[in-house]
Each structure stands twice: as C-alpha cells, then as structure tokens.
Copies of this chain bind each other. A is one copy, B any other.
Amino acid sequence: MDHRKNIEVCFTPGEYEYFKDEYEIVVVIDVLRATSAICAAFHNGIKSIIPVATIEEAREYKAKGYLVGAERKGQIVEGFDFGNSPYSYMNEALRGKEVVLTTTNGTKALDVAKDADTVVVGSLNNLDALCEWLAEQDKNILCLCSGWQDKFNLEDTICAGAISEYLIGTGKFTSSEDSSIAAKYLYLSAWDRYMGFLKASSHRRRLKNLNLNEDIKYCLTPNLTNVIPILRDGKLVKL
C-alpha cells in the first residue's frame, strides 16, 4: 500500500471545484504579483493582510479607515493606497500594520480556497522555505494557481511544478493528475527559456506601469524570504 500523500496542481480558480475537499493544505500561487507581494509584505514587517475578492469590499474597508491595496489588470485602482507591486510593501509606514488587499487573480484564488483546512501563500520568493515546511506536514496538498483572468498561466504553473518536484523528491509525496504531471514537465523543461523571456519582457499582459520590469525581476527571483503567509480567521498572518 502506498502511504505517500498527494501533491497536485490546479491551474485556475475556476477548476478548484473539481479538486476541493480532497486536500488538507491549499497553496495559493500568484507569482505575478499578488502572492509575491504578500510574501514581501510579511518579510517587511506587515502584521496582517485581509484578502478580499471584490473592489466593493475593499471600498468598505477603506471607508472604515483601513490601509487598502487594490489592483485590477495590472493597475492600482483609483482611490486606493497601493496595488500589488512587492515594492509597495517595503514601506516603513506599513510595518506592524494590518492592510486589506484585492487583486485581479490572487485574492480571487484565496477566496475560492478559504474553506480548506489550511491555506498558505506560495511564490518563487519563498519557495524553499515553503517546500521544506510542506514536506514536514504529512498532508495532501493542492497547489492552486491563480492564473490570469481565469485562464492558465505559465509562471504560476512553473512555481507549482517546482513545489511538486521538490515534494515528490522527498519520497513522501506522489501525484497522479495530468495537470500535476504537466506542471512538473513545464518546470523541468521550460524554466530557463520561459523565465528569461519573462524577465526580458515589459509588455506582458498590458501591465505597463513603470515599475513592471523591476517587479517581474523581483517576483521571479527564488528564495528572497523565509516567510510563509497563512490564512487564519480570514486574515493572512506570518506562520
């Protein structure tokens, strides 16, 4: 009998319904840029982040006096304090504070996964620390990619493939879904070419704000931090 736990990959929030309830841990991934920014926030001393799925909820928090970040289609939404650039969170004024965040893809994925036993935030920035922690948990794990406007994206998938490959390499995990097999292949075969392409491109997905190239380089750099953000009672906090 196989006592290994499962590590599987779901490509988009829309497909989560076909996976849920079988995994004790869900790793939400939005490499460009929400989960990278969330890791940067905790690395830089932010106390907690309340992820919300809609601009309306974000406005309600803003009206109550919260610091609120809101991003849609790569831009900071008018009237909000910041978007999802990791650099926004490297700000002394935010240390020790609670902030609210809504983004195009990442907070949507956090929202669909919120009823799982354990929801943690993954990115390339906290890859090794996250993998080491996951390997110790003895739980079934699902990597939930945020995608881009409900479609598959490569950077989240490659990140999920890297996590899968690490966990399977420990001998304690296995995967059987085709999406997981594909994510591993893409991690193993496409990493160098794709990451090079991404780093060189500032036109990706109409994200044309000035800092995008810097943001992309930051988000695609593995292991900048050891923080593992975890969802507790509707708030992200540092594990």
Contacts and interface: CB of A to CB of B under 8 A. Distances in A.
B150 A18 contact: yes
Contacts of A153: 178
Interface string A137-159: 00000000000111111100100
B179 A182 contact: no
Contacts of A157: 178, 182
Dominant SS among interface residues on chain A: helix
A152 B186 CA distance: 14
A196 B123 CA distance: 33
Interface residues of A, number: 24
A15 B148 CA distance: 12
B15 A178 contact: no
A21 interface: no
- Number of identical protomers: 2
A86 B19 CA distance: 30
A57 interface: no
A153 B179 CA distance: 7
Interface in A175-191: 177-179, 181-182, 185-186, 189-190
B150 A178 contact: no
14 contacts: A11-B152, A14-B14, A14-B15, A15-B152, A18-B149, A18-B151, A151-B177, A151-B178, A151-B179, A152-B179, A154-B178, A157-B182, A182-B182, A189-B190
